[in-house]
Amino acid sequence: MESGWLWAVFTVLAAAAQTARNAMQRELTGSLGTVGATHVRFLFGFPFALLALGVVQLITDHPLPRPGLVFWPWVLLGALTQIFATGLMLAAMGERSFVVTIAYTKTEPVQVALFGIVFLSERVTPALALAIMIATGGVMLMSWKPGAASASGVRPALLGITSGALFALSAIGYRGAIRSLEDTSFFMASSFTLAIALVFQAVLLSLYLAVRERTVLMAIARAWRPSLFAGFMGALASEFWFLGFALASAASVRTLALIEVLFAQGVSLFVFGQLPSLREVAGIVLVVLGVALLLWSS
């Protein structure tokens, strides 16, 4: 699966699509609650994932993979941890200390690198390790508010670090599942894994809500228009994430994914006219340096 720079292109596209999806999910959290807003990306995303799988099969003329036993633990690890990670992330959005919590969440690339070494035996070069630390430090510098951590207590730190750890495990699970699908193209391996994961997540959360919170399901049905857009953008982002995982280490993909914060800063500047502070400018410089080092060392 030699890809050159293709994995980086996929990752940048995924980060852009995820920015739009997160914005929509934030809007839906108020009316649907944390679980409902979490469910939207899966319930309205899996039809698009199945459609993408059909298009890939039509274009590549490859049959659907026949996954072995090793595929299923990996994809279940990715799917389950992603559900809980998304829920924690959305719950953090309701915290008064939201920005600090997200700063802790952005420790994900560091945790991905560690989990990749342990579970996938992926090599982390000194250049990659340095890029991860520089870019992650830049994101945390941009997100941090002086004095906010002491005022907010332990809860935001636990939410953020746990969410980041679960997202890291999810990335490792999906990369492991994709790598286990042999004798097929990386497009097919990625699209098949995504379709399986989203169908499982949609079914599992639908059953949970049907038993425990039927009113949330009704609220999701009433909010189908914005939910449809969130599901589409979520599936689009996931498709590009999975293509990135097929072609590069999870640590490389998730480190480059930190450019999502640059997109958010761009929206603040050009759409809302909000000038960045000196601290944010310093953080942006660190993120750019980390990403540049990552791409140079790849």
* DSSP one-letter code for 210: H
Please tell me the pTM assigned to this model: 0.87
pLDDT of residue 157: 66
Q: For 48-52, what is the mean pLDDT?
A: 95
pLDDT band, residue 103 (cuts 50/70/90): low
pLDDT for the residue numbered 36: 85
Q: Which of 29-38, 182-191, 218-227 has the lowest mean pLDDT?
A: 29-38
Residue type, 80: L
* Main-chain phi, psi angles of 149, to 5 degrees: -65, -45
pLDDT at 161: 81
Place 2 in a pLDDT band, splitting at 50, 70 and 90: very low
Domains in the chain: boundaries: 23-126+145-248
The interaxial angle of helices 224-247 and 6-43, nearest 10 deg, is: 140
Cβ neighbours of residue 285 under 8 Å, at least 6 residues apart? Answer: 138
Q: Is the pLDDT of residue 72 over 90?
A: yes
pLDDT score for 1: 42
Q: Over 70: is that where the pLDDT of 42 sits?
A: yes
181-207 pLDDT, tens digit each = 988 899 999 999 999 999 999 999 999
Question: Burial, 234: exposed, middle or buried (Cβ in 10 Å; 0-12, 13-18, 19+)?
Answer: buried
- Asked whether residue 21 carries a pLDDT value surpassing 50, the answer given is yes
What's the rounded Cα separation, in Å, for the pair 213 and 286?
A: 44
Q: What is the pLDDT of residues 245-281, one digit of tens each?
A: 999 999 999 989 888 777 777 766 776 566 777 887 8
**Which amino acid makes up residue 243?**
L
- Residue 273 is classified by DSSP as -
pLDDT of residue 168: 93
- How far are the Cα atoms of 1, 48, 113 from residue 106, in angstroms, in the given order? 28, 28, 13
Res. 152: pLDDT tops 60: no
Q: What percent of the chain has pLDDT over 90?
A: 39
Render pLDDT for 154-180 as a digit per residue (tens, 0 to 9).
Answer: 666 677 788 889 999 999 999 999 999
Q: What is the pLDDT of residue 74?
A: 97
Helix or strand holding residue 26 (H, E): helix 6-43
Which of 22-31, 45-54, 107-116 is the most confident on average?
45-54
- pLDDT 10s digits, 107-141: 788 889 999 998 998 888 899 999 999 988 888 78
Name which of 140-144, 229-233, 255-259 the model is least confident about.
Answer: 140-144
Q: DSSP label at 212?
A: H
Would the pLDDT of 150 be above 60? no
